[in-house]
Every structure is written in C-alpha cells, then in structure tokens.
C-alpha cells in the first residue's frame, strides 16, 4: 500500500480521529499516488496513524477511514460500514415513514458519500473525488440490504467544482425513478422528484422538527416560509391548522406543494401557496398589517463557510426581524439555520438582535437539531449543521 508521512506538528487532529488531513500537513508521499488510492498515513516518527483515501485536487488531501492497522479497508470493510449505517436506521422505517438518510458521509465512516431512501428508490450523491472507485460496492451493498427498485445518482452539487468533478447524474442500479416517487413521512404522503428536485429531492432532515412544530398548529394561522414541497405546511394541516400560507421562490416547489396538499386530501381552502421571494413577501405582509400565530423560517444555507458568517448573520437577522414583526403576544417563531458555520449560541444571539430590532420581547422555548439519521460523529463537528429555535413572543 502507498504511504504518506505527515509533518511533525500536523498529526494531532488525525490522532484525535478527525477524518480529514489537509494538503499542507503532508511532508512526504509516494511519487505515483493517484486520486482514489488507498494510503497508509504515518507520523514523522513513522508510527502508523490510519488508512485513508488520497485526493490530489481537494484541499482535503486525505479522508481517513480506519485507525486500526489490522482492519485494512477492503471490499468487506466498505460493506460493513454500509450495513452498520443502514441497520442503525431500520427502526425509523415503518408504514408511517419510508424515507430517511441511510448514509451521512463522514459521520457514517463513508466519506464524501450520501445516500437517501425514498420508498422504493435510493438517491446517492458523491461530493469528494476518490470515492468513485468504491461507489459500486456501496450501491451493491444497498441493493443487498434494501432491495430497492432503483438507485439514482444525483451528483450535481456546486461543491463538486472544488474537487474538479463534473456533474454525474444517472441510474446506478435498476429502474429510472418515475417523475414522481411517492413517499410517506410522519404519516403524510409526498410526491418527490428524485431526478429534478432540489438536493436529492426532499429535506428529510426536518422530519422531527416538522412534527414538533405541528404540535402548536391546531386551529392556528401558520406562515411557512421557504416551504419547498410543503414539509412544515402538511404537518401543520394534518395537526388541524386553521390556515397555512406557504411561500417559496421556486415554481417547481410550489406546484409540488399543491399536489401534496391534494394527495393528502386536505381541504385546499386551508392552504395558500405563494410563489415569491420570502423577504419581499414578508415586507408586503408587514405593510398590510397581517399577523400570524405560528411562523416557520427555514431558509437555504446563508453561510457556506466561516468567512461568510458575518454577512450571513445580517441576513438571518433581517429575515427573522421581518418574521417577528408579524407575530403578536403568544405567537411562535420556528426558525432554522442549516449553515454549519453558524453555531447555536451565535444563532441565539442573532435572533436576540432581531427581536430587539423588531421591538419584541422573546423567550426561547425549544432548541431543534438534526435527527438521528444525520448523526454527528464526535470527532467531526463539521457534520453538525442543522439547528433551530422555537421562540415565543412575550
């Protein structure tokens, strides 16, 4: 096996089981190393640290896999990783729920690869060079374990550019997913477009949070901002919301949401889908003096990196200020950030500022986080990204 030796002072994180080694930490490497090669990583004293996958183009030069010298990552090793990840999710799957994240990349020891289950279909996404070599093993093991009708790859995310990877979409096993795959989550039915939808087609990371927020929705007027295909909207309607206004800028999201309201047999007079920019729409509602009982703000990632955190904080603050303005005493705001760079304490501070600007006194009554099928590995805090606050206006 090819070898890499690290600089003397650059091995600490690797000993602490962090799965990334940056290119600057490498002191020596075998000359003919290629992206995707399995390598043994040693410290400056030639002590074995771990096995990893080398990547010649990424800032993350090695993704570490296994710290035990006797457990060489061969085909069986990969299959075991997939098996463990899938078995840990089995209890989430039943007649009320047939969608979840099966493999969450580094957090599940399968770096650079995500797999989501959507009923009879699985969608996979690769975001690191060097993972392609083992992709067929992952696909094959998923087939053995779950017998899906098809596995579709949706590798068309922007971060692939940093790895010099071109888009790579297509069927990897079995049938092409139909235009709409039907799934059920929290007992609610959804049409999911695996081939054309956003991300891999559905945001299953909000499963628990949708249910939690819906508990407060009975007989209430709800405003679901950044609704996508209706996750929060449908849970609120199911829980007996008097009325839900759902806002998203994407035409496909809004038309899917409309389909989903009908698919579940909800009375369409309780649902108002609006295709609009959320900031613009919130401003308009404010000018009209409209009020709601419960507001959900689930925007896309505003801070893709730490360097953009300050700018993003201002955007989160403005958005939340606009939302809070539409709530009266006793009103609830469920607000989220899926930016990994924004931690919960910073987010609380941002919301506190937004409330001050809105002239509202608030209480934090619950903290939301990502669900168990998006685990956070102790040595990899980078995997912790979704957080939220349930805020009550005093």
Cα atoms found within 13 Å of the Cα of residue 192, Cβ hemisphere only: 29
How many CB atoms are located within 10 Å of the residue 186 CB? 16
Is 238 among the residues that bind ligand SAH (CB under 6 A)? no
Distances in whole angstroms, Cα of residue 200 to Cα of each of 121, 350, 353: 11, 30, 34
Contacts with ligand SAH by CB under 6 A: the residue count is 17
| x-or-dash string of contact with ligand SAH, 287-306, rule CB under 6 A | -----------x-x------
Residue 118, beta-bridge partner list: 99, 121
| x-or-dash string of contact with ligand SAH, 28-67, rule CB under 6 A | ----------------------------------------
CA distance 86 to 78: 12
- Specify the residue, 206 or 221, whose C-beta has the smaller distance to ligand SAH: 206
Q: How far is the CB of 299 from ligand SAH (least distance, A)?
A: 6
Exposed e or buried b per residue across 38-73, where buried means at least 16 C-beta atoms within 10 angstroms of its C-beta:
bbbbbbeeeeebbbbbbbeebebbbbbbbbeeeeeb
| One of 109, 203, 316, 385 touching ligand SAH (CB under 6 A) | 203
Q: How far is the CB of 169 from ligand SAH (least distance, A)?
A: 19
- Specify the residue, 109 or 232, whose C-beta has the smaller distance to ligand SAH: 232
Quick one: tokens of 273? 């889908």
Is 253 among the residues that bind ligand SAH (CB under 6 A)? yes
Q: How far is the CB of 90 from ligand SAH (least distance, A)?
A: 24
Is 316 among the residues that bind ligand SAH (CB under 6 A)? no
What is the rounded radius of gyration, in angstroms, for the C-alpha atoms of the chain?
23
Is 226 among the residues that bind ligand SAH (CB under 6 A)? yes
Is 264 among the residues that bind ligand SAH (CB under 6 A)? no
Q: How far is the CB of 336 from ligand SAH (least distance, A)?
A: 8
- Specify the residue, 383 or 388, whose C-beta has the smaller distance to ligand SAH: 388
Quick one: tokens of 305? 């990196």
Is 228 among the residues that bind ligand SAH (CB under 6 A)? yes
The DSSP result for 205-264, as a single string, is: GGHHHHHHHHTT-TT-EEEEES-TTTHHHHHHHHTT-SEEEEEES-HHHHHHHHHHHHHT
Is 196 among the residues that bind ligand SAH (CB under 6 A)? no
| One of 52, 231, 340, 388 touching ligand SAH (CB under 6 A) | 231
Q: How far is the CB of 213 from ligand SAH (least distance, A)?
A: 10
Phi, psi of 124 (to 5 degrees): -120, 155
- Specify the residue, 53 or 204, whose C-beta has the smaller distance to ligand SAH: 204
| One of 238, 249, 255, 264 touching ligand SAH (CB under 6 A) | 249
Among candidates 80, 10, 77, which has minimal Cα distance to 38?
Answer: 77
Quick one: tokens of 356? 């001050």
Is 206 among the residues that bind ligand SAH (CB under 6 A)? yes
- Specify the residue, 66 or 208, whose C-beta has the smaller distance to ligand SAH: 208
Is 99 among the residues that bind ligand SAH (CB under 6 A)? no
Among candidates 313, 316, 311, which has minimal Cα distance to 333?
Answer: 316
- Find out whether 316 and 302 touch, Cβ atoms under 8 Å: yes
| One of 250, 255, 264, 308 touching ligand SAH (CB under 6 A) | 250
- Find out whether 190 and 234 touch, Cβ atoms under 8 Å: yes
| One of 227, 246, 256, 335 touching ligand SAH (CB under 6 A) | 227
Binding residues (CB under 6 A) for ligand SAH: these are 198, 203, 206, 226-229, 231-232, 248-250, 253, 277-278, 298, 300
């Amino acid at each position: 096996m090819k070898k890499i030796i690290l600089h003397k002072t650059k091995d600490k994180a690797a000993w602490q089981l962090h799965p990334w080694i940056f290119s600057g930490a490498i002191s020596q490497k075998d000359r003919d190393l290629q992206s995707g090669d399995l390598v043994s990583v040693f410290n400056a004293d030639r002590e074995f640290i771990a096995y990893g996958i080398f990547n010649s183009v990424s800032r993350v030069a090695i993704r570490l896999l296994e710290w035990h010298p006797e457990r060489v990552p061969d085909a069986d090793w990969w299959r075991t990783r997939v098996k463990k990840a899938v078995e840990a999710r089995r209890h989430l799957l039943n007649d009320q729920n047939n969608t979840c994240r099966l493999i969450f990349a580094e957090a599940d020891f399968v770096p650079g690869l995500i797999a989501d289950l959507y009923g009879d279909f699985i969608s996979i996404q690769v975001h690191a060079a060097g993972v392609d070599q083992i992709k067929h093993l992952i696909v094959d093991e998923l087939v053995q374990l779950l017998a899906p009708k098809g596995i579709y790859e949706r590798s068309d995310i922007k971060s692939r550019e940093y790895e010099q990877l071109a888009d790579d979409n297509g069927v990897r096993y079995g049938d092409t997913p139909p235009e709409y795959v039907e799934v059920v989550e929290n007992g609610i039915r959804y049409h999911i477009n695996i081939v054309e939808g956003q991300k891999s087609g559905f945001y299953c990371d909000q499963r628990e949070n949708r249910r939690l927020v819906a508990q407060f929705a009975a007989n209430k007027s709800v405003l679901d901002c950044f609704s996508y295909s209706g996750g929060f909207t449908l849970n609120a309607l199911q829980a007996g919301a008097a009325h839900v206004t759902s806002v998203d800028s994407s035409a496909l999201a809004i038309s899917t949401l409309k389909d989903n309201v009908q698919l579940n047999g909800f009375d369409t007079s309780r649902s108002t889908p609006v295709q609009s920019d959320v900031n613009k729409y919130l401003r308009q509602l404010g000018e009209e003096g409209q009020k709601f009982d419960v507001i959900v703000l689930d925007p896309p990632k505003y801070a893709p990196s730490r360097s953009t955190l300050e700018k993003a904080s201002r955007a989160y603050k403005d958005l939340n200020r606009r939302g809070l303005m539409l709530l009266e005493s006793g009103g609830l705001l469920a607000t989220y950030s899926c930016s990994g760079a924004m931690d919960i304490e910073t987010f609380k501070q941002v919301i506190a500022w937004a409330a001050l600007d809105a002239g509202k006194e608030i209480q934090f009554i619950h903290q939301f986080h990502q669900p168990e099928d998006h685990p956070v590995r102790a040595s990899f805090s980078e995997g912790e990204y979704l957080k939220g606050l349930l805020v009550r206006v005093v």
